A and B are shown apart, each in its own frame.
Chain A
Amino acid sequence: MDEEPERAKRWEGGYERTWEILKEDESGSLKATVEEILFQAKRKRVFESHGQVRLGMMRHLYVVIDTSRTMEDQDLKPNRLTSTLKLVEYFVEEYFDQNPISQVGIITTKNKRAEKLTDLAGNPKKHIDALKKAKDSTCGGEPSLYNSLSLAMQTLKHMPGHSSREVLIIFSSLTTCDPANIYELVKTLKALKIRVSVIGLSAEVRVCTVLTRETGGSYHVILDESHFRELLSFHVKPPPATSSSECSLIRMGFPQHTIASLSDQDAKPSFSQAHLDSTSGGPGLSMGGYFCPQCQAKYTELPVECKVCGLTLVSAPHLARSFHHLFPLEAFQEDRLELLHRKRFCEACQGELKDKSVFTCPSCSSVFCVECDLFIHDTLHCCPSCIHSRSAP
């Protein structure tokens, strides 16, 4: 059954002597080593460039959260469940920031059953409200991988072929209670091209290793809360698309935002489709909004899928948010400060270059400091000097 050799376990290999990293200098102080470690920690976010690989931009992701008895452990403060829910809220916000036309759904599993917390939707508010309410729920029983995966599968198998179907499981228990053979389910998932990734909170579990290896996902176990946050951030970026995903032209509508005021003659207040279904208070009448170009149904926010005619409604900036994935920025070269005598100022922020390394853009050879390099790669996604040369992408 094993096609590739598994990684050597730690008890099989030699010891790793972590204390050897710390080296004292001649006066006996550790300051230089500590600064080096802090500097490396700043640069730790590995910039992986996928190069010319096609990315799956429209993603349908289910997040499965284990709410079994082990989530009451207090090794993550205040307990695993609260910490996980807070981090998943942060993940949902980042996810919609980087993938505006994708959808997310949340499933929880406990007492050998799985239930859907929220359906697949493109609006972050619903998910965040549901996650906040879930903080009060109790944990108990054992989780069920089989049930949660089959629940996710029921919806994902009907999704169109051009979107990437993913499941992210946050698994804290070391056991799972399944009604049928899970390896059969793994085969079915593989056939439906659903990619399953797991983040373990306790230890590595063999069934998760097999599950992620067969479906092409990744499996990591967290060390502490900041590592947990980092692992979640890996899943925010769009993954490379599988070779079998279809490419198609998707029909979308771009509605205009009409702002009508009471002084206009034709202005009529109307309900939006979202308010007709929601149970929250308030009259829900508003003057302006987005009208679907095909059926004239009204919505207050985008992106949304029109309930009447099924057309996906987006606005042009939503698509523009994903462009930086298609044209990623190259990593800058790191050099030592002493080699560049002439330049004393960072070209982006005009500050003095004080750190021991500076970063040079390979296309325009401008020099940046450490902070600007991080800011440019994480948030700005374009080199400030290169865009002065006016080359259109």
Chain B
Amino acid sequence: MASEDEVSLLVIVVDVNPIWWGQQANREPQFTLSKCLDAVMVMGNSHLVMTRTNKLAIIASHCQESHFLYPCKLWKSGDGHGDDNASTSGDGKYELLSVANELIAEEIKNLMSRTEVKGNQTDTLLAGSLAKALCYIHRVAKELEAGQEMKSRILVIKAAEDCALQYMNFMNVIFAAQKQNILIDACVLDSDSGLLQQACDITGGLYLKIPQKSALAQYLLWVFLPDSDQRSQLVLPPPVHVDYRAACFCHRNLIEIGYVCSVCLSIFCNFSPICTTCETAFKIPLPQVVKSKKKKLKAST
């Protein structure tokens, strides 16, 4: 059991891409965004009641912004005591949990109603949400009292597909998380995501693609609720095989042997005299020219 000095912070990043969820409502009406958020609330509540010193944060990752659903900016401290307007729930639930749930529901309704999707912005801004999560974890770590240690992890619930444009930002975020010893776990609803597989492999987290979406709450509680110390004692889904081969810049094929420009580190599958990214001309190694002096001497004698 964790002692009083150990704080465990869980940040849940939920993908609320309205286009994917809208299509999902047509495909499977029994699993919609509200059901997903119910499962997230159950997970958040469970984490908060595991130990008194646990902390929680929830970020919604949209096409245009990332918004913190919990905790609310207007609170002075992480606990909700300053909120006079909160109605105490009639069913005797722990007040922290009921306030948290109401707040999350309120904020997600505001978020979805006020943002409009424009034109070509259909990808979820996952790298941005992860960056904000890391900054939040960094701030909470600085605000701890003396003698407290903190362990943090990020759980990503991903719905839509990967955006290849975010590759570099994503990798920066992953390396920053690895340096700060923050685990990134991924729970994927629909299609496999190579970026998240790499993130989980590099930081040491768990990657799981859920076979049945309607059982989301069960998978979250079984696989992702225990923290890293307890995971060694459980039998969890096996690690996936991550493809670390690089893609060449000219054809986007995955290659096993390639040529790397020493200036800009771009990868090519074939030798070419000029790098297309940084336009450096390369030295082409020529075969040595054999001097023919000796042969001439022999011919003259």
Contact = CB atoms under 8 A, between A and B. Distances in A.
Given A249-B261, A326-B265, A384-B135, A350 B68 contact: yes
A248 interface: yes
Contact of B260 (A250, A371, A376, A379): A250
Nearest to B132: A384
Contacts of B180: 379
Most buried by A among B255, B256, B265: B265
Contact of A250 (B66, B163, B165, B262): B262
A350 to B, nearest CB: 6
B138 A57 contact: no
Contacts of B215: none
A121 to B, nearest CB: 20
B173 interface: yes
Contacts of B256: 253-256, 293
Interface string A290-334: 000110000000000000000100011101111110110000000
B94 interface: no
Interface stretch (B27-35, B43-51, B120-128, B144-152): B120-128
B136 A387 contact: no
A199 interface: no
A213 interface: no
Given A252-B259, A259-B239, A316 B244 contact: yes
B80 interface: no
A345 interface: yes
Interface in B166-191: 166-169, 171-176, 179-180
B114 interface: no
Contacts of B264: 326
B259 to A, nearest CB: 4
Residue among B64, B131, B180, B280 having the largest count of chain A Cβ atoms under 10 Å: B131
A247 to B, nearest CB: 4
A75 interface: no
B257 A256 contact: no
Given A323-B265, A390-B165, A254 B246 contact: yes
A348 B257 contact: no
B132 A348 contact: yes
A379 B244 CA distance: 23
Nearest to B143: A351
B119 to A, nearest CB: 12
A160 to B, nearest CB: 9
A293 B175 CA distance: 26
A388 B125 contact: yes
Given A249-B261, A256-B256, A379-B180, A392 B165 contact: yes
Q: Chain B interface residue count: which class?
A: 35 or more
B262 A372 contact: no
A57 B265 contact: yes
Contact of A381 (B66, B68, B176): B176
A54 interface: yes
A349 interface: yes
Contacts of B134: 375, 380
B259 A250 contact: yes
A380 B173 contact: yes
B168 A257 contact: no
B49 to A, nearest CB: 24
B142 A371 contact: yes
A251 B270 CA distance: 10
Most buried by B among A316, A317, A388: A388
A137 B245 CA distance: 43
Nearest to A322: B265
B251 interface: no
A247 B262 CA distance: 6
Nearest to B72: A350
A346 B265 CA distance: 35
Contacts of A58: 262
A387 B263 contact: no
A346 B132 CA distance: 10
B202 A324 contact: no
A28 interface: no
B171 A311 contact: no
B112 interface: no
Given A256-B245, A387-B125, A376 B268 contact: no
Nearest to B163: A390
A321 B174 CA distance: 10
Given A384-B131, A390-B125, A324 B172 contact: yes
B73 interface: yes
A282 interface: no
Contacts of B268: 249
Contacts of A326: 264-265
Contact of A162 (B65, B131, B262): B262
B265 A349 contact: no
B139 interface: yes
B202 A317 contact: yes
Interface in A270-286: none
A393 interface: yes
Nearest to B136: A349
27 contacts: A247-B280, A248-B283, A248-B285, A251-B259, A253-B256, A253-B257, A253-B258, A254-B245, A254-B246, A256-B244, A256-B245, A259-B239, A317-B198, A317-B244, A324-B172, A348-B131, A348-B136, A349-B138, A372-B138, A375-B138, A379-B176, A382-B131, A387-B169, A388-B65, A390-B123, A390-B165, A390-B166
By Cβ-Cβ distance, the 10 closest A-B pairs, closest first, are A348-B135, A349-B139, A384-B131, A316-B246, A162-B262, A293-B256, A392-B165, A249-B259, A388-B128, A315-B244
Given A254-B258, A390-B121, 4 more contacts: A317-B198, A326-B265, A384-B131, A392-B168
